[in-house]
Amino acid sequence: MNIAVVGTGYVGLVSGTCFAESGNEVICVDIDRSRIEALSTGTIPIYEPGLQELVRRNIKERRLSFICDLEAAVAQSMVSFIAVGTPMRADGSADLNGVLTVAQDIARIAQGYHIIAIKSTVPVGTNDRVRERLKAAANARIDVCSVPEFLKEGSAVEDFMRPDRVVIGSSSDEATAILREIHAPFVRTDNPILVMHPRSAELTKYASNAMLALRISFINQMANLCEAVGAEINDVRRGMGADRRIGSQFLFPGVGYGGSCFPKDVQALIHSAAEHQLEFTMLKATDEVNVQQKRLIVERVKQHFGRDLNGRTFAIWGLAFKPRTDDMREAPSLVVIEELLKAGARVQVHDPEALENARRTFGERVTYHRTNYEALSNADALIILTEWNEFRHPNFQRIRAELREPVIFDGRNLYDPGLMKALEFRYYSIGRRPI
């Protein structure tokens, strides 16, 4: 099938590439000419395991192309997926200008029957708004549907190719049949394609992310309570997770969640509830806990070294909000580094993939290091903020030799406290007794 994907950001690029990998002819469209030129040569602007290889293979086999010409892309396609950004406004609502503008442009171009499938994360009621806008613009018979994405950065290709479920929000039997056909190759193991009203599909995306964010904030508060009463959060977490009604996923304590989805989607759902005179108290608390958790490590640092950090140097391992991505949007590292700099400290950073993004954020205010051990040189302590695999089993003798003091602040609970005690490190983690 011929498919257009409008927007070559994270969602659009992964979606378009995976659709092409399943045999469709896909044209990806973006207004950023330099991005399109780079993508056309197989150079992708993000780090996502396995994606670049798929992009290059499908370009070579002529199933995937990248252009700036929306008219040409829509003219050749029966389905146009909208995957443009919906950034958060100051009041927490989602900015839908991009989605609405692209939908109107597609409607003016399309001839005959056409499906506009919204993959962008949009608040409930967006399908209705788009259909209302298209009444005057459309020259063709157009169905508007919602097909939200459920991709995790770092495993997005796997998530798309083998999804837990596909959600299709559609009020048209014809559009539903076509969208089912497009997504059928990805659910051959009988994971469900769930067809529902567009409003339910829109809300499903927000509800899913909000629930995951809530779990993270809950386990972080439990970790703080464990420290206060002398319990061990890993024991508590395992005890909870063994209950099949609860499960163990997203119950790992740390320094808070980040990324492009959870913070924005929690705020958008709070805003949607407020528009209907509902107080989403639980999600407000989820967000508040997350904001506090990002400052926890710096408070621990100040408790150990004193409030004035002038003359102190700290090594930071991990800048991305999670491993296997270079994405630093809303990452805990942003808060931690700013707080350390404000207190007068010097900061030396390392991340396997996010150094260039960090450089664009912090400029020359911190120093950047190609390896994790280089970042340790003459630092007073090591702070770990992202659970990259290469940080899990380091050379502790080398860490000790490089640091001025054998102190580690572990925001991801990577190390065994017993080992840290045996190696005579001062070790602070989350929800466990300090060593």
Q: Residue 430 and residue 428: Cα distance in Å, rounded?
A: 7
Q: Residue 413 and residue 64: Cα distance in Å, rounded?
A: 42
Rg (CA), the chain: 24
Quote the percentage of the chain above a pLDDT of 70.
100
Q: Residue 17 and residue 24: Cα distance in Å, rounded?
A: 10
Choose among 148, 247, 125: nearest CA to 194.
148
pLDDT value of position 358: 98
Supply the pTM of this predicted model. Answer: 0.92
Choose among 212, 153, 205: nearest CA to 357.
153
Q: State yes or no: is 68 an active-site residue.
A: no
Write the CB contacts of 384 (distance below 8 Å, at least 6 apart in sequence).
316, 317, 318, 391, 408, 409, 410, 411, 412, 414
Torsion (CA) 271, 209, 362, 369 in degrees, nearest 10: 170
Domains of the chain as residue ranges with CATH: 2-196 (3.40.50.720), 206-292 (1.10.1040.10), 295-428 (3.40.50.720)
Which of 18, 145, 226, 261 does the annotation list as catalytic? Answer: 261
Could you tell me which residues are beta bridge partners of residue 41? none
| Residue 287 CB neighbour total at 10 angstroms | 21
pLDDT value of position 166: 98
The single-letter code of the amino acid at 113 is: Y
Q: Residue 71 and residue 52: Cα distance in Å, rounded?
A: 26
pLDDT value of position 138: 66
pLDDT value of position 189: 87
Mind listing the pLDDT tens digit for each residue in 396-417? 999 999 999 999 999 999 999 9
Residues of the chain with pLDDT under 50: none
Q: List, in sequence order, the alpha helices (H) in 355-416.
A: 355-362, 396-402
